[in-house]
Structure 1
């Protein structure tokens, strides 16, 4: 099962957010499962069209996802998925 991990910055908004293993191998379904565990998290990660928000990055197996629009990047059972805020500024 893929393991989903989060940065400390996201835990500031969702204090009960913890590393979790999920059954799905589809990023959209993973976000749905996370929403069931942490209400409002999905809206923080994706916009109204289901596209990844500009201030969020997702890494699968150490690689930044390529498809920010439909979230179709492949997920394997042994993958670690990191969801984090994108940092900007100087």
Structure 2
């Protein structure tokens, strides 16, 4: 089953569960995580349900191509990592 994990920076704001899900797409995997912790949605998605500009997702080490529909396919053993971009100087 695909596994979804979130960046440690998000733990400062809300619980970030690592979960295994039978999801076939990135959107389905994210929805499974949001079922565990609904507050997480607002940190990852904007009001239109798209990835926030400061969030990037890697699936099996490759950057997600679809920031809008989140329709990237997942394989049975995919590893999904949701990261927040950091800035500073």
TM over 0.5: yes
Aligned 1:27-66 pairs, distance under 5 A:
27-66=26-65
Q: Which residue of 2 aligns with 1:12?
A: 12
1:44: how far off? 1.4
| Alpha-carbon distance between aligned partners in 1 of 2:87 and 2:65, rounded to the nearest angstrom | 19
Q: Secondary structure at the match of 1:67?
A: coil
Mark the runs of 5 or more structure 1 residues left unpaired by the alignment: none
C-alpha deviation, 1:54, in angstroms: 0.4
Match of 2:76 in 1: 77
SS at structure 2 position matched to 1:69: coil
Q: How many residues align?
A: 89
**Aligned equivalents of 1:69, 1:25: Cα separation in 2:** 16
Q: Tell me the C-alpha RMSD between the 2 structures.
A: 1.3
TM-score of the aligned structures, taking structure 2 as reference length: 0.89
Where has structure 1 moved over 4 Å in runs of 4 or more? Answer: none
Taking the aligned partners of 1:41 and 1:9, their CA distance within structure 2 comes to 12
- Give the corresponding residue for 1:87: 86
